[in-house]
C-alpha cells in the first residue's frame, strides 16, 4: 500500500509540487500578513482567479492536442469590446453575447484553418491573429475604454446570486467541470490526447486529427470570449490591452500542471491548482503591499522550479 502511494506520488510529481507550493505559500503569507488566511480573502482569490482559470483551461485543451494559441488576450478584448459597443446600441443581452461568441468562434476557425490546412505552426498563426485582432479592438474602442451599460450582462457575470460569492466563480467551476468531463469522459477528449500524443498514429487509427484541432481552436476562442465577458463585467468596460497581464500566467499554469508543448499531456484539475497557486502569490504580494514586480519575479521563479522538478524526474527516469 505504501509502495503504491510512493509510485503514484512519483507518477504525479506535478500534483505534489502544486499542492506543496499552495501549502508553502499559504503558510508564508499567513505568517507575514494575518489578513491572508481568511474566508473573505479566499473569496477574493477565487473571484480574481476566474478569468485566468478559464483562459488557462482553454490553452490546456490546445496544448494537449500539441498546439498553442497566444491570440487569446486579443480575443478576450475583442469579445468584451463587441458586448460593450452593442450594449451602447441597446442590443438584447443574449444577442450581444451570441454575436461576441460568434466573433470568437470566427477567430478560432481562422487560427485552426491556417494551422491545420496550411500547416503553419500555431504559434506563428496565433501571433499574427493576436496582432490583427488587437488592432481591430483598438479601432473598435477608438483607443479608449468603452463602458458596458447592459445591467443584465453585468449581473450575469459579476453579480452575487448566492451569498457573497460572485457569479464568475460559478462560471469558473461549471466550465472546469465541463472541460474535465469533455477530456476524460468523451470520445473527442480521448482523441485530443491521441492527436497531441502521436498525430500519425491517431490518423492511422481513423481519428480526424485536423477536425479535432479545429474544434479545440474554436473552443479555446469561446473560452477566451467568456473570460472577456467576466473581465469586462468586473471592469464594467472594455478597453484595448485590458488582458495583457494574463499572457504569461495563462500559458504557465497548464505547463506547471504537466501539459507539454509537444502534446499528449494535460490535466484540468492540476491546471486549476496551478492557477490557484499563482493567484495566491498575486494576492499575497498585494496584501503585503509589495510592488507588482515582486509578483512577476515570484511567478517566474515558481514556474522555473516546477519545470525543473519535472525535468529532473524525466532525466532520472531515462537513467
Partner 1 sequence: MSEVVLECRNITKHYKGVCALRGVSFKLYKNEVLGIVGDNGAGKSTLIKILRGAVHPTSGEILLNGQRVSFQNPRDAMDCGIQCVYQDLALVDELSVKDNFFLGREIERKLFGFLPVLDEEAMYMEAAHALRQIGYEEIPLNAQVADLSGGQRQAVAIARAVFTRPEPFILLMDEPTSALSEKGKQKVFQFVSFLKKNYSIVLVTHDLNAALQACDRIIILKLGEIVFESSVHDGLSVEELISLM
Answer whether 280's CB lies under 8 Å from 45's CB: yes
310 touching partner 1, by CB under 8 A = no
* Total of chain residues touching partner 1, rule CB under 8 A: 19
Q: Are strands 146-147 and 237-238 parallel, antiparallel or unpaired?
A: antiparallel
Q: Which is nearer to partner 1, 90 or 187 (CB)?
A: 187
Report how far residue 255's alpha carbon sits from residue 274's, in angstroms, rounded to the nearest whole number.
9
18 touching partner 1, by CB under 8 A = no
Work out which of 3, 89, 162, 200 binds partner 1, going by CB under 8 A. 200
Shortest distance, CB of residue 15 to partner 1, whole angstroms?
16
185 touching partner 1, by CB under 8 A = yes
198 touching partner 1, by CB under 8 A = yes
Window 260 to 299, contacts with partner 1 (CB under 8 A): 264-265
316 touching partner 1, by CB under 8 A = no
Q: Return contacts of 301-304, CB within 8 angstroms, 24+ apart.
A: 302/21, 302/256, 302/277, 302/278, 303/252, 303/255, 303/256
Cα separations (Å) of 243 from 35, 108, 141, 183, 239? 28, 18, 14, 27, 9
Cα-flanking dihedrals φ and ψ of residue 265, to 5°?
-130, 150
197 touching partner 1, by CB under 8 A = yes
Specify burial of residue 313 (Cβ count, 10 A radius: 0-12, 13-18, 19+). middle
Number of H helices, E strands in the chain: 14, 2
Among the listed ranges 50-58, 203-211, 221-229, 272-280, the one in contact with partner 1 (CB under 8 A) is 203-211
Work out which of 205, 261, 269, 314 binds partner 1, going by CB under 8 A. 205
Q: Which is nearer to partner 1, 205 or 241 (CB)?
A: 205
Among the listed ranges 69-77, 194-202, 272-280, 290-298, the one in contact with partner 1 (CB under 8 A) is 194-202
Q: Which is nearer to partner 1, 36 or 193 (CB)?
A: 193
Among the listed ranges 164-172, 181-189, 210-218, 298-306, the one in contact with partner 1 (CB under 8 A) is 181-189
Residue 239's CB: how many other CB atoms inside 10 A? 20
151 touching partner 1, by CB under 8 A = no
Among the listed ranges 141-149, 195-203, 215-223, 302-310, the one in contact with partner 1 (CB under 8 A) is 195-203
201 touching partner 1, by CB under 8 A = yes
207 touching partner 1, by CB under 8 A = yes
Burial code (b: 16+ CB inside 10 Å, e: under 16) for 4-28 equals eeeeeeeeebbbebbeebbeebeee
| Non-local CB neighbours of 239 within 8 Å, separated by 6+ positions | 77, 141, 144, 145, 146
210 touching partner 1, by CB under 8 A = no
DSSP 36: S
Query: Where are the alpha helices (H) located in 142-186, listed in sequence order?
Result: 151-158, 167-185
Shortest distance, CB of residue 23 to partner 1, whole angstroms?
28
Shortest distance, CB of residue 205 to partner 1, whole angstroms?
3
**Site for partner 1, rule CB under 8 A:** 185-187, 190-191, 193-194, 196-198, 200-202, 204-207, 264-265
Amino acid at each position: 500500500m505504501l509502495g503504491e502511494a510512493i509510485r503514484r506520488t512519483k507518477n504525479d510529481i506535478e500534483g505534489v509540487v502544486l499542492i506543496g507550493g499552495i501549502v508553502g505559500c499559504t503558510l508564508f503569507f499567513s505568517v507575514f500578513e494575518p489578513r491572508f488566511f481568511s474566508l473573505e480573502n479566499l473569496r477574493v482569490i477565487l473571484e480574481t482567479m476566474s478569468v485566468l482559470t478559464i483562459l488557462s483551461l482553454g490553452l490546456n485543451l490546445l496544448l494537449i492536442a500539441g498546439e498553442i494559441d497566444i491570440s487569446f488576450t486579443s480575443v478576450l478584448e475583442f469579445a468584451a469590446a463587441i458586448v460593450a459597443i452593442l450594449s451602447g446600441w441597446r442590443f438584447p443581452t443574449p444577442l450581444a453575447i451570441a454575436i461576441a461568441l460568434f466573433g470568437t468562434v470566427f477567430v478560432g476557425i481562422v487560427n485552426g484553418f491556417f494551422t491545420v490546412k496550411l500547416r503553419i505552426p500555431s504559434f506563428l498563426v496565433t501571433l499574427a491573429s493576436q496582432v490583427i485582432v488587437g488592432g481591430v479592438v483598438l479601432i473598435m474602442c477608438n483607443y479608449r475604454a468603452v463602458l458596458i451599460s447592459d445591467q443584465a450582462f453585468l449581473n450575469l457575470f459579476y453579480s452575487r446570486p448566492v451569498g457573497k460569492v460572485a457569479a464568475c466563480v460559478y462560471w469558473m467551476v461549471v466550465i472546469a467541470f465541463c472541460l474535465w468531463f469533455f477530456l476524460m469522459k468523451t470520445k473527442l477528449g480521448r482523441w485530443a490526447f491521441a492527436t497531441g500524443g502521436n498525430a500519425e498514429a491517431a490518423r492511422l487509427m481513423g481519428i480526424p486529427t485536423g477536425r479535432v484541432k479545429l474544434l479545440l481552436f474554436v473552443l479555446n476562442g469561446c473560452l477566451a470570449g467568456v473570460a472577456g465577458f467576466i473581465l469586462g463585467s468586473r471592469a464594467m468596460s472594455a478597453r484595448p490591452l485590458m488582458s495583457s497581464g494574463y499572457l504569461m500566467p495563462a500559458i504557465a499554469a497548464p505547463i506547471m500542471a504537466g501539459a507539454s508543448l509537444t502534446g499528449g499531456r494535460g490535466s484540468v484539475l492540476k491546471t486549476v491548482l496551478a492557477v490557484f497557486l499563482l493567484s495566491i502569490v498575486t494576492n499575497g504580494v498585494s496584501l503585503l503591499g509589495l510592488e507588482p514586480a515582486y509578483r512577476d519575479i515570484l511567478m517566474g521563479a515558481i514556474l522555473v522550479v516546477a519545470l525543473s522538478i519535472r525535468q529532473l524526474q524525466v532525466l532520472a527516469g531515462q537513467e
